């Protein structure tokens, strides 16, 4: 056993390292239920205007451009961000958009191990992974965006 000043020095070093580790940890959402908003918007002529995609992306802790690129590919349309709105170049029912957002969440947000949304997207050597901040799991992403 270590006693005296040698023990005290090791404990101070441990405490400093622990404090440093806590500063590096990313925050985890403490919510019990993970339910993103449903998409809101309207159809104008041949275009679909989405008004809350920015809030959905923020809730998912993902870049709006990443989410939009996925939706455009999956919905086979073009679109753009204009102010706080997203304009899709064809009529698309909100149910279909919500379905695609659910698929995005399964692929890019939820951890496959613990099913929590506390994840981040990381890129290593040309591959994209979802890293879970809750359980530490890391899995590759099948879809390439």
Across the range 63-91, mean pLDDT stands at 95
Q: How many domains does the chain have?
A: 2
Across the range 23-46, mean pLDDT stands at 76
Same domain, 84 and 117: no
Question: How close are the terminal C-alpha atoms of the chain, in Å?
Answer: 55
Using DSSP's 3-state secondary structure scheme, residue 38 falls into coil
Give the span between the Cα atoms of 44 and 86, in whole angstroms: 12
Whether residue 7 is predicted with pLDDT greater than 60 in this model: the reply is no
Same domain, 42 and 102: yes
Same domain, 98 and 115: no
Q: Cα separations (Å) of 9 from 41, 75, 114?
A: 61, 60, 38
0.85 exceeded by pTM: no
Whether residue 134 is predicted with pLDDT greater than 90 in this model: the reply is no
Could you say which DSSP state residue 89 is in?
S
State the residue range of the domain holding 66.
Answer: 36-109
100 vs 134, residue with greater confidence = 100
Same domain, 84 and 135: no
pLDDT digits (tens, 9 = 90+) for 88-116: 999 999 999 999 999 999 999 999 998 88
Q: What is the CATH number of the domain that holds 78?
A: 3.30.70.3150
Q: What is the pLDDT of residue 29?
A: 52
Whether residue 32 is predicted with pLDDT greater than 60 in this model: the reply is no
């Amino acid at each position: 056993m270590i006693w005296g000043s040698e023990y005290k020095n090791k404990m101070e070093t441990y405490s400093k390292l622990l404090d440093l580790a806590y500063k590096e940890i990313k925050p985890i959402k403490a919510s019990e239920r993970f339910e993103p908003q449903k998409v809101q918007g309207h159809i104008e002529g041949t275009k679909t205007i989405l008004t809350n995609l920015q809030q959905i992306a923020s809730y998912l802790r993902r870049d709006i451009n990443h989410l939009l690129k996925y939706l455009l590919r999956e919905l086979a349309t073009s679109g753009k961000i204009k102010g706080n709105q997203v304009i899709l170049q064809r009529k698309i029912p909100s149910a279909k958009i919500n379905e695609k957002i659910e698929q995005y969440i399964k692929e890019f947000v939820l951890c496959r191990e613990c099913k929590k949304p506390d994840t981040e997207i990381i890129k290593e050597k040309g591959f994209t992974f979802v890293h879970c901040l809750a359980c530490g799991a890391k899995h590759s992403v099948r879809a390439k965006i």
